[in-house]
Chain A
């Protein structure tokens, strides 16, 4: 086994005495799960992602920079960022409201609402896309026709893409906030109220500071998910280059086309998407205090 091979010689010699043998078996026992997890993560995440990076830079830096300068690539990233921005903004506002509703109020149907929050996580994004089409499509949707005649196009336009993205990443903020809101309890908020604070003052001065890290983490997860959304957006966008093609849709399109240039463009866009998400997560994780004060 790997850990036996890498065992330092000092331990191997000391292993003659009984006492050290128990230490060795103990440390061996501790290493087994770590090794399993690292192996698993390596084959599932680290290696494939590293290969994306490798494929991106297979011809050096020049074709990557060239790919990033193509107008439809730039457009796709701008579109992705603006859709992600609006989706995250919507999810942050509604996420905070729904989380407070779920943890601070009792009302009929609360459990049903809580279960409904998880629907976007359990339903395939492609189903979400189809469902939005049924409602908002200009030709067949039962609300789309009305909106379109009022001059508001939802499907095959940014509003529909924002809705699809917001829908898919809705649970991420809420699932971060609810446990924290439950953990801090209502005592502090009640104390604030008895000291004269209004509901809004109590939220801004007491609740918000207590949940800020969870909220930020939820926002970043939601941002990462929004940047990478593919299935639902593909259905409602139509994926027209320079109009409704997001970065993920561009990756798919270029990857399926012939030619090394297209392949490198696909990998470059994929690499940048992954990079943005990873940087956001790393920044927040390193900013977050290790032990929250209590």
Chain B
């Protein structure tokens, strides 16, 4: 186990940020700490980095007890949401900072900086100031700076949170490829479930200062242990008193066995996807059931607004039965 967290707790005044966290983060993997804002995931990451001290519990990094080790002695690479670029230093000086502090020879620093800048595709910007870079470029610089010290673990705190949607998607795909090349144990915090599902080997869902569930993206998506995990990882709707994913509902314009009759009260198209709201005939007061399907399917089945339909969950054992 690369990072072993046992019994960690943290309070800010009356607010309990983390309570009694036990977590093992395996070596060489890309782990996501996923959860809503204020759930404690960033606090946990900062405790691992030594930027925050826990009130209770221990943190072990690669077999050594790091609980009382100050940040500068943990050899941890940390990437901040808002880049934390050293504004008065060139891009190259930013990346070389950790090595300069370690008093490495100038030649070695220059070589390492060149290598990392080409890794993050910033070689031609080496002499610029961070203010002359875009947000995505600044974050790649911050990543190169963190990697320069050859960290035992790489920690990223909402690394793409301040970037626009398109850059964010590009960067997370790039982070995944980078991790596959480098194999450094990486933990990143995100509140974006899509980001976690796409990039991570393992996801830790954190809410209200507690760990809700730990597992691979498939395990969490298909076998959520609680309503919270199910609702946080993707869209949900209520059918037959159960939570179901809207794309796991079969919808046909003719009656079929065990299906419930309803009427499409609303239909909206978002790109390739069609989202239907279906009011059931026998429970007209209940909120409508959400159903999503591809546009081709909706067109083929003539599922227009106002049409009568019959619906049924496709894979009953995939749904969540509550706590």
- Please report A residues at the B interface, Cβ cutoff 8 Å: 184, 187-188, 190-198, 201, 205-206, 209-210, 293-294
In-complex Cβ contact of A196 among B51, B72, B84, B87 (8 A): B72
Evaluate contact between A188 and B131: CB separation under 8 angstroms: no
| Minimum CB–CB distance for B10 against chain A, Å | 15
| Minimum CB–CB distance for B189 against chain A, Å | 15
Chain A residues positioned under 8 Å from B9 (CB to CB): none
7 further A-B contacts with Cβ under 8 Å, apart from A194-B49, A195-B101, are A193-B70, A193-B71, A194-B71, A194-B72, A195-B97, A293-B87, A293-B129
Q: List 27 A-B contacts (CB under 8 A).
A: A187-B80, A187-B83, A187-B84, A188-B84, A188-B85, A188-B87, A190-B80, A191-B80, A191-B84, A191-B142, A191-B145, A193-B71, A194-B71, A194-B76, A195-B98, A195-B101, A196-B72, A196-B75, A196-B101, A196-B102, A197-B72, A198-B72, A206-B86, A210-B87, A210-B88, A293-B88, A293-B129
Evaluate contact between B131 and A293: CB separation under 8 angstroms: yes
| Minimum CB–CB distance for B140 against chain A, Å | 15
- Residue of B with least CB distance to A201: B101
Evaluate contact between B88 and A194: CB separation under 8 angstroms: no
| Minimum CB–CB distance for A250 against chain B, Å | 43
Evaluate contact between A196 and B98: CB separation under 8 angstroms: yes
- Residue of B with least CB distance to A192: B97
| Minimum CB–CB distance for A212 against chain B, Å | 9
| Minimum CB–CB distance for B259 against chain A, Å | 55
Confirm or deny: B149 has a beta carbon within 8 angstroms of a beta carbon on chain A: yes
How many interface residues does B have (CB within 8 Å)?
A: 31
CA distance A201 to B101 in the complex (A): 8
CA distance A195 to B71 in the complex (A): 8
Chain B residues positioned under 8 Å from A201 (CB to CB): 101
CA distance A188 to B101 in the complex (A): 15
Chain B residues positioned under 8 Å from A192 (CB to CB): 86, 97, 101
| Minimum CB–CB distance for A200 against chain B, Å | 11
* Chain B 105-127 per-residue mask, 1 if CB under 8 angstroms from chain A, else 0: 00000000000000000000000
| Minimum CB–CB distance for A132 against chain B, Å | 40
Confirm or deny: B160 has a beta carbon within 8 angstroms of a beta carbon on chain A: no
Evaluate contact between B131 and A190: CB separation under 8 angstroms: no
CA distance A188 to B94 in the complex (A): 11
Evaluate contact between B145 and A195: CB separation under 8 angstroms: yes
In-complex Cβ contact of A191 among B70, B73, B74, B86 (8 A): B86
Evaluate contact between A196 and B149: CB separation under 8 angstroms: yes
| Minimum CB–CB distance for B91 against chain A, Å | 13
- Residue of A with least CB distance to B75: A196
Evaluate contact between B87 and A191: CB separation under 8 angstroms: no
Chain A residues positioned under 8 Å from B88 (CB to CB): 209-210, 293
CA distance A196 to B87 in the complex (A): 18
Most buried by A among B70, B86, B148: B86
CA distance A198 to B98 in the complex (A): 11
